[in-house]
């Protein structure tokens, strides 16, 4: 809280403040997304492709427990036609505790049901992941400042998915996990630190095996399924699950800014008009 206040003050004063690079050791790519900027909205086709990637690849391990099937048909989201959304839900089974005299039983999912929890215990739920992680840090500096780009949750996820590299030579061969240049929170071998304990290679070792290699899915719209396209599409989809009403929020915000600007102009003119008779002419030049 105090820290963000300090940042705001520094920003307001225009002080060139060196951004405290908390995750300087991870590399996040500044991918561009259609939802960025004050007029940005989600691209329906991209969200549909992202849904497909999530369904065919990520769902094997990750849940989306806060997202209901019904929202897939919502305007501003993937906007699946009603019958497609129903068909999508009907592919899945959910455990319903009210069935079989309270013992519970499986039944076909309906639009009101949710995607469900992660199938793999240590794979985090992805519903809110795009808002829980920041790709950009600090207000100033490179093109990756939060001031102009937002928090960068989408960039972070896409960068993780494209961030797998061959492990650097400094690491022991049997080191746990998969080397990823965008992931800062994983294990890190001592043999890759210098004498001061600083990391000598970016990123760390993540517990998720590379989920996308490129050409993992085939899109109905023939869109490219190169690795970075897939990564950006599924990241956009996860930004939508985390903030489904982002476009509406931006519109309201913009309308507010325009309204307040108009009000300020009117108040200025009114003020001038009210005081005009009381101000002797030519006074301005004297002052
Ligand atoms: C084989 C299982 C598996 C699959 C498939 C999989 N993941 Fe993961 N994922 C994991 C595990 C396990 C972790 C936790 C890794 C860790 O914390 O070291 C994880 C972590 C993550 C994280 C969180 C990174 C962080 O900052 O904590 C994201 C984002 C993510 N996965 C996205 C995806 C996406 C998107 C897909 C589909 C393209 C996918 N995963 C497919 C197992 C999987």
Ligand 1 touching residue 51 (CB < 6 A): no
**pLDDT averaged over every residue in the chain:** 88
- In this model, does residue 141 exceed pLDDT 70? no
Residue 81 near ligand 1, beta carbon < 6 Å: no
Atom of ligand 1 nearest to the CA of 133: 26
97-126: average pLDDT: 94
Q: Is the CB of 184 under 6 A from ligand 1?
A: no
Q: What is the 3-state secondary structure (H, E, C) of 102-160?
A: CCCEEEECCCCCECCCCCCCCCCCCCCHHHHCCCCCCCCCCCCCHHHHCCCHHHHHHHH
pLDDT digits (tens, 9 = 90+) for 231-240: 999 999 999 9
Ligand 1 pocket, mutate which of 124, 188, 235 (most atoms under 8 A from CB):
124
Apex 231 CA angle, 229 and 237, nearest 5:
105
CB-facing half-sphere around the CA of 185: CA atoms within 13 A: 7
| Predicted local confidence at residue 22, as pLDDT | 41
Ligand 1 center–CA 122 separation, angstroms: 9
**Percent of the chain whose pLDDT exceeds 70:** 85
Query: What's the rounded Cα separation, in Å, for the pair 202 and 189?
Result: 12
Give residue 62 CA to ligand 1 midpoint distance, Å: 7
Q: Is 130 in the pocket of ligand 1 (CB under 6 A)?
A: no
How large is the average pLDDT for residues 188-214? Answer: 95
**Any atom of ligand 1 within 6 Å of the Cβ of 120:** yes
Counts for the chain of helices (H) and strands (E), in that order: 9, 4
Helices 227-242, 44-56: inter-axial angle, 10-degree rounding: 100
Examine the pLDDT at 260 and tell me if it is beyond 90. Answer: yes
For 158-183, how does the pLDDT look when each residue is reduced to its tens digit (9 = 90+)?
Answer: 999 999 999 999 999 999 999 999 99
d(CA 161, ligand 1 centre) in Å:
9
Q: How many residues in total does the chain contain?
A: 287
- Ligand 1: does its nearest atom lie under 6 Å from the Cβ of 23? no
Positive or negative, the Cα torsion across 53, 39, 125, 180?
positive
Which protein residue has the closest C-alpha to ligand 1 atom 40?
58
The answer, yes or no, to whether residue 284 has pLDDT greater than 70, is no
Per-residue pLDDT at 20 exceeds 50: no
- CA dist 270 and 262 (Å) reads 12
Report which protein residue has its CA nearest ligand 1's atom 1: 61
CB atoms within 10 A of CB 55: 17
Q: How far is the CA of 184 from the centre of ligand 1 (A)?
A: 14
CA of 129, closest atom in ligand 1: 29
| Contact predicate 33/220, CB 8 Å | no
Distance between Cα 232 and ligand 1 center (Å): 15
H helix or E strand, kind and range, residue 180:
strand 178-180
| Angstrom distance (rounded) from CA 190 to CA 196 | 11
Helix (H) or strand (E) holding 57: none
């Amino acid at each position: 809280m105090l820290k963000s206040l300090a940042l705001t003050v520094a920003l307001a004063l225009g002080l060139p403040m060196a951004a405290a690079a908390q995750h300087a050791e991870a590399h996040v790519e500044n991918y561009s997304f259609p939802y960025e900027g004050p007029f940005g909205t989600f691209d329906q086709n991209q969200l549909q492709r992202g849904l497909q990637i999530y369904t065919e690849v990520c769902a094997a391990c990750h849940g989306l427990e806060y997202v209901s099937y019904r929202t897939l048909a919502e305007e501003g989201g993937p906007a699946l036609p009603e019958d497609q959304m129903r068909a999508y839900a009907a592919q899945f089974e959910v455990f319903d505790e009210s069935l079989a005299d309270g013992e519970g039983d499986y039944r076909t999912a309906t639009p009101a049901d949710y995607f469900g929890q992660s199938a793999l215990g240590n794979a985090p739920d992805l519903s809110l992941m795009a808002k829980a992680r920041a790709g950009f840090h600090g207000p100033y500096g490179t093109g990756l400042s939060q001031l102009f780009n937002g928090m960068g949750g989408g960039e972070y996820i896409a960068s993780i998915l494209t961030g797998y590299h061959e492990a650097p030579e400094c690491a022991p061969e049997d080191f746990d996990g998969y080397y990823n240049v965008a992931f800062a929170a994983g294990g890190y071998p001592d043999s890759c630190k210098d004498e001061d304990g600083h990391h000598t290679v970016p990123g760390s070792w993540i517990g998720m095996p590379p989920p996308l290699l490129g050409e993992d899915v085939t899109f109905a719209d023939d869109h490219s399924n190169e690795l970075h396209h897939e990564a950006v599409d599924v990241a956009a989809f996860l930004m939508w699950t985390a903030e489904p009403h982002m476009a509406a929020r931006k519109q309201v915000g913009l309308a507010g800014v325009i309204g307040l600007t108009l009000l300020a102009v009117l108040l200025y003119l009114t003020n001038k008009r009210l005081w005009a008779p009381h101000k002797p002419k030519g006074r301005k030049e004297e002052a």
